[in-house]
């Protein structure tokens, strides 16, 4: 499992304001998470993706296979980098999958950035082949590692390449992955996050039982005018709301956040 956090706002915020500074930041969640469904710590790497419009539409991504608390270089630069769209995650590797940098979220391709909090049961013994065999040539060629998360992103990239919007791509990805897992009798937890640097989309879903936790904060005290989505509440702000299970959440700068049940 992983813990994730994302920010979209009219004003830029520093990477440290999302990852390091809150009382229950991703740094704290790397060693003391409160709502993990499996695992104890998130020590198998971390990553941050952010957008700098002056340099083009593709994101900058910093990923490391070391625990967040051990990376002094990131701590030194995080307060000096600002962006209006930030994706960040700490990783607890799915059992049976390698703990290496290729499996650390967020994943990026072109202008898109993606995160997955969850796991596909027995991924390398059935679902991996089924899902990867279904990919288009370009998405397949972009795979670098063997994780379930990177494969799920490739499925979403196929939909995006066909012209789907962020929310549509995630919803279709959930359908395809869920069907592949159901056909093989495997459970999947699929909290998914996707951005193109302008809007964001999230899904909270599990094929069986409850999904992993997901929360939303709009116009919080620490982030005025911004929207935060996170696996766990980053602070004690009374404005945090839980995203219901099996729901889609979309965020854009013009209309704010909107939630609806998955169809």
pLDDT tens-digit map of 109-158: 999 999 999 999 999 888 999 999 999 999 999 998 889 999 999 999 99
CA angle at 77 for the pair 73 and 83, rounded to the nearest 5°: 140
pLDDT tens-digit map of 188-246: 999 999 999 999 999 999 999 889 999 999 999 999 999 999 999 999 999 999 999 99
- Determine which one of 2, 120, 152, 174 is catalytic: 2
> Quick check: helix, strand or coil at residue 5?
strand
Q: Looking at residue 175, what is its pLDDT?
A: 97
Which residue is listed with tokens 């990852």? Answer: 19
* CATH class of segment(s) 2-261: alpha beta
Instruction: Return the higher-pLDDT residue of 92 and 181.
Output: 181
Q: What is the mean pLDDT of residues 27-39?
A: 92
Q: Looking at residue 254, what is its pLDDT?
A: 78
pTM of the model: 0.96
Pinpoint the alpha helices (H) of the chain.
Answer: 15-19, 26-31, 72-77, 127-133, 137-141, 148-161, 166-184
Q: Looking at residue 253, what is its pLDDT?
A: 79
Structural tokens at position 124 = 């390398």
pLDDT at 1 over 90: no
* 129 Cβ contact partners less than 8 Å away, ≥ 6 residues apart: none
Q: Looking at residue 94, what is its pLDDT?
A: 67
Annotated active-site residue 2? The verdict is yes
pLDDT tens-digit map of 103-114: 899 999 999 999
Enumerate the domain spans of the chain.
Answer: 2-261
Instruction: Return the higher-pLDDT residue of 97 and 67.
Output: 67
Give the model's confidence band at 98: pLDDT under 50 very low, under 70 low, under 90 confident, else very high.
low
Give the model's confidence band at 38: pLDDT under 50 very low, under 70 low, under 90 confident, else very high.
confident
Q: What is the mean pLDDT of residues 12-18?
A: 97
Residue 198 burial by Cβ neighbours in a 10 Å radius (0-12, 13-18, 19+): middle
pLDDT at 171 over 70: yes
């Amino acid at each position: 499992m992983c813990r994730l956090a994302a920010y979209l706002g009219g004003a830029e915020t520093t990477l440290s304001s999302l990852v390091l500074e809150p009382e229950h930041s991703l740094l704290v969640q790397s060693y003391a998470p409160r709502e993990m469904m499996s695992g104890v710590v998130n020590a198998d790497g971390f990553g941050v993706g952010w957008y700098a419009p002056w340099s083009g539409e593709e994101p900058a991504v910093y990923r490391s296979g070391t625990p967040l608390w051990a990376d002094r270089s990131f701590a030194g630069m995080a307060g000096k980098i600002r962006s209006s769209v930030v994706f960040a995650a700490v990783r607890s590797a799915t059992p049976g999958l390698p703990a290496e940098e290729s499996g650390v979220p967020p994943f990026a391709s072109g202008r898109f950035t993606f995160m997955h909090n969850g796991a596909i049961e027995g991924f390398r013994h059935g679902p991996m082949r089924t899902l990867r065999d279904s990919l288009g040539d370009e998405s397949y060629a972009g795979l670098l590692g063997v994780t379930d998360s990177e494969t799920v992103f490739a499925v979403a990239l196929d939909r995006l390449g066909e012209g789907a919007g962020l929310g549509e791509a995630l919803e279709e990805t959930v359908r395809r992955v869920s069907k592949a897992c159901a056909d093989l009798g495997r459970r999947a937890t699929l909290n998914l996050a996707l951005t193109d640097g302008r809007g964001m989309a999230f899904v909270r879903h599990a094929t069986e039982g409850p999904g992993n936790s997901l929360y939303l904060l709009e116009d919080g005290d620490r982030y005025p005018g911004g929207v935060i989505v996170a696996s766990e509440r980053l602070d004690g702000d009374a404005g945090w709301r839980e995203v219901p299970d099996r729901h889609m959440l979309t965020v854009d700068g013009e209309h704010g956040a909107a939630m609806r049940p998955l169809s």
